[in-house]
Structure 1
Amino acid sequence: MAQAPPTLGRKSSAPWDRLRPVKQDPLESMGFVSKGDNRLLDLKTQEAFYNKIVARYMQFCSRHSKNLDNAFASLSLEEGQPSSTATVKNPAIRPVALPSARDPPPLSPDLTASTTGQAINGPAPSPSSELSTILLALRKLREGLLATSASALNPVFSQRVHVFNIRAAILAFHPEGYHPSLLHLLFKLHTNEHPLPRSELIEMTTYLILDTAIRQNDLTEAFSLRYKSRIRYAFKSRIVDNILKSIVTNDWVAFWRVRQKVDGYLRAILHWHLESQRRTVLKAIGRAYYSCDVKWIIQSSTGSEMSWEELVKAEDVGWMRHGEKVMIRKPKDKAG
């Protein structure tokens, strides 16, 4: 008579057909409307998703508060932007103030992982991964807002989302994220029936004009935008005027003075001019001087935002340094 198989010494604590639920990031689990995910066609879902994005952004700022400028630069570095991005010191960044006055009450920066969908255990994601998730989620939300624009009662919520997106993408040096959003906000969502607040209108117009002049290197279009904005809603900005003038005249002294006074968002946009600015200054110094103080060269070409070693590496400077002096070229011997 065959014996019955021995029983297992350890029994399962749960039925075999019950699987442990997989923890999903709520920002990543939401899909694009264009790819068949219709959840963001619902207005309440849009608002809930936006609040989750804001919460994740606040957590990002809190987690990297000690080195926030490099955290924002990490995404552009990973995508192959110039390495000089990492050397930009941006003390004027105030990212936790991104939501406008019409937003819901600010969320605490000490958000736990459970409130933002992050796993409690395990290593923290890299700054570039976090930023990528946030910006991609904003893109999903903007796509859903565009698909429901005809049925929306008013564009105020959409305006709020675009303003948030523009500010976050500017700090992340991500033109693909902020430039289309700027155009849509200023030329589609800002209407006579539902105008942007005056302060935000001036702010967003400033970003568009300077981005056109600096990153896109289209001064003609930048001056045209400034003129049309003056006619349309009496746009005035001394900062825009001074920066455009400094770029046209290659006045690097005025450029650095303005850049030291502006906030983090404008400093991030002006970053796109730093490489050209450095080379212009170094060429001028090389033509005009035989020797110079190291500190003066660094101040003139980088606004003291790079060390001498970083400047030499970035621009392949071949000048010889002797202590606090740099020998640029030797004077020609006079004929006897």
Structure 2
Amino acid sequence: MSRPHPQSSRKSSAPWDRLRPVKQDPLESVGFVSKGDNMLLDIKTQESYYHKITARYMQFCTQYSKNLNEAFASLSVDGSTSASADPTRNPPVRPVQTQSLRPTTPAYSARQTSATRTSTQNMAGPNPADGLSIILTALRKLREGLLATSHTVASPVFSQRVHVFNIRLAILALHPPSYHPSLRYLLTVLHTKEHPLPASELREMMVYHILDTALREGDMNKAHALRVRAKASYGIVDRNLDTILKAVVWDDWPLFWQIRSKVDGYIRAIMHWHLDVIRKSTLKAIGRAYMKCDVLWIVQGATGGEMSWEELVEKEDVGWSRDGDTVHIRKPKAKT
């Protein structure tokens, strides 16, 4: 006589009980049109997606309101990269510790001071670089959808609004692959006689374009040509723009730091691309002209007071010796 099989002490559960609904970020649930996702080919979906992006941006600003500048600079601390060597064709991806987001051109490599890096790492809550990457990538997806549907839309006004928002955000995040192609497309394609940008926005975007050309790309001739064209075609004259270009052409570091302290956050962010150049040229000029200087005067002249002497020494590998408040640059030659 066979014995009955012992019953298992473990209660069986229906397989469906183990499934949980996957929590997916609404900004990441939408894909790229170029990758075959058609969700953003619908006009109403585009508008809804844009509202979600702006709401996430406001949430980001509220969450990091006490350290907003450091939060915007966080992408350069943790690093991120575009998908190919062409930065204008790819969105930023999630931050990777071993990669760098910034374009690494010799004259305009973007770096962070140790103070900013420490402040960002000490921020409470999630890494702000993750939030910025999600927002910038979502804007890239939306811009792809707008481009794909541009021939079916009667008015480019909505697309103009999206690009203006994208440009402002990407400038603050110091991410040229996100703002540079968008800026050119806005000024050359979306701004038309039938649907012109508002005068204030046109002036703002033209100033950004000229400064980016001069300071990040280092093409002063092209920047001056754009400035002349902006004045002749649209009557755009900007005193801060002229002052910055003058300071860069003449290598006038007191004027550069003076105007940097007066302009708004967007222009200050674009001026970031010239900081390495102005810092190095200032140190070279001081080294040629003086044998010893006050340490605070050197720091103010080379960094506008944005760095300490220790940070300046570490960043630029300064070999001058310091004795209290005095920095000895060169020793006098012995009389023969």
| Class of the TM-score when normalised by the shorter of the 2 chains | 0.7 to 0.9
Pairing 1:80-229 to 2, within 5 Å after superposition: 80=100, 81=102, 82=109, 84-86=111-113, 124-229=125-230
Gaps of 5+ in 2: 81-99, 103-108, 117-123
How does the TM-score come out when normalised to structure 2?
0.85
- Tell me how far apart the structure 1 counterparts of residues 115 and 189 of structure 2 sit (CA, whole Å): 33
Q: Which moved more, 1:181-190 or 1:62-71?
A: 62-71
Aligned residue pair count = 300
Deviation at 1:2, TM superposition (A): 3.9
Deviation at 1:88, TM superposition (A): 8.8
Relative CO higher for 1 or 2, CA cutoff 8 Å, sep ≥ 6?
Answer: 1
CA contact (8 A) 2:299 2:309 kept: yes
CA contact (8 A) 1:246 1:254 kept: yes
- Tell me how far apart the structure 2 counterparts of residues 73 and 86 of structure 1 sit (CA, whole Å): 11
- Tell me how far apart the structure 2 counterparts of residues 88 and 124 of structure 1 sit (CA, whole Å): 19
Deviation at 1:128, TM superposition (A): 1.2
- Tell me how far apart the structure 1 counterparts of residues 221 and 194 of structure 2 sit (CA, whole Å): 31
Deviation at 1:210, TM superposition (A): 0.3
- Tell me how far apart the structure 1 counterparts of residues 237 and 114 of structure 2 sit (CA, whole Å): 32
Taking a change above 3 Å as real, the CA distance of residues 51 and 86 of structure 1, as seen in their structure-2 partners, is: farther
Deviation at 1:64, TM superposition (A): 1.4
The corresponding residue for 1:98 is none
Deviation at 1:16, TM superposition (A): 2.1
Residue type at the aligned position of 1:16: P
* 1:160-204 per-position Cα deviation (integer Å, ceiling 9, x unaligned): 100110011001110000000000111111111111111111110
* 1:127-174 per-position Cα deviation (integer Å, ceiling 9, x unaligned): 111111110000000000000001112111101100110011001110
Is structure 2 residue 244 aligned with structure 1 residue 257? no
CA contact (8 A) 1:182 1:208 kept: yes
- Give percent identity, aligned residues only: 60
Deviation at 1:38, TM superposition (A): 0.3
- Tell me how far apart the structure 1 counterparts of residues 318 and 112 of structure 2 sit (CA, whole Å): 19
* 1:186-242 per-position Cα deviation (integer Å, ceiling 9, x unaligned): 111111111111111111000000000010000111011111111111111111111
CA contact (8 A) 2:110 2:273 kept: no
The corresponding residue for 1:108 is none
* 1:67-89 per-position Cα deviation (integer Å, ceiling 9, x unaligned): 11121111123143456334698
Residue type at the aligned position of 2:208: Y
- Tell me how far apart the structure 2 counterparts of residues 327 and 36 of structure 1 sit (CA, whole Å): 63
The corresponding residue for 2:41 is 41
Deviation at 1:311, TM superposition (A): 0.2
- Tell me how far apart the structure 2 counterparts of residues 86 and 304 of structure 1 sit (CA, whole Å): 12
Residue type at the aligned position of 1:27: L
Residue type at the aligned position of 1:189: L
Gaps of 5+ in 1: 90-122
Residue type at the aligned position of 2:31: G
Taking a change above 3 Å as real, the CA distance of residues 199 and 83 of structure 1, as seen in their structure-2 partners, is: closer
SS, match of residue 326 in structure 1: strand
The corresponding residue for 1:72 is 72
- Tell me how far apart the structure 1 counterparts of residues 189 and 232 of structure 2 sit (CA, whole Å): 18
- What RMSD in Å do the two structures reach over aligned CA positions? 1.7
Deviation at 1:11, TM superposition (A): 5.7
Deviation at 1:17, TM superposition (A): 3.0
* 1:296-327 per-position Cα deviation (integer Å, ceiling 9, x unaligned): 00110100000000000000000000111101
- Tell me how far apart the structure 2 counterparts of residues 188 and 322 of structure 1 sit (CA, whole Å): 58
The corresponding residue for 2:120 is none
Residue type at the aligned position of 1:55: A
Residue type at the aligned position of 2:35: K
Deviation at 1:4, TM superposition (A): 5.1
Deviation at 1:255, TM superposition (A): 0.9
- Tell me how far apart the structure 2 counterparts of residues 55 and 124 of structure 1 sit (CA, whole Å): 19
- Tell me how far apart the structure 2 counterparts of residues 250 and 76 of structure 1 sit (CA, whole Å): 26
CA contact (8 A) 1:28 1:137 kept: yes
CA contact (8 A) 1:87 1:306 kept: no
- Tell me how far apart the structure 2 counterparts of residues 27 and 251 of structure 1 sit (CA, whole Å): 45
Taking a change above 3 Å as real, the CA distance of residues 25 and 271 of structure 1, as seen in their structure-2 partners, is: same
The corresponding residue for 1:51 is 51
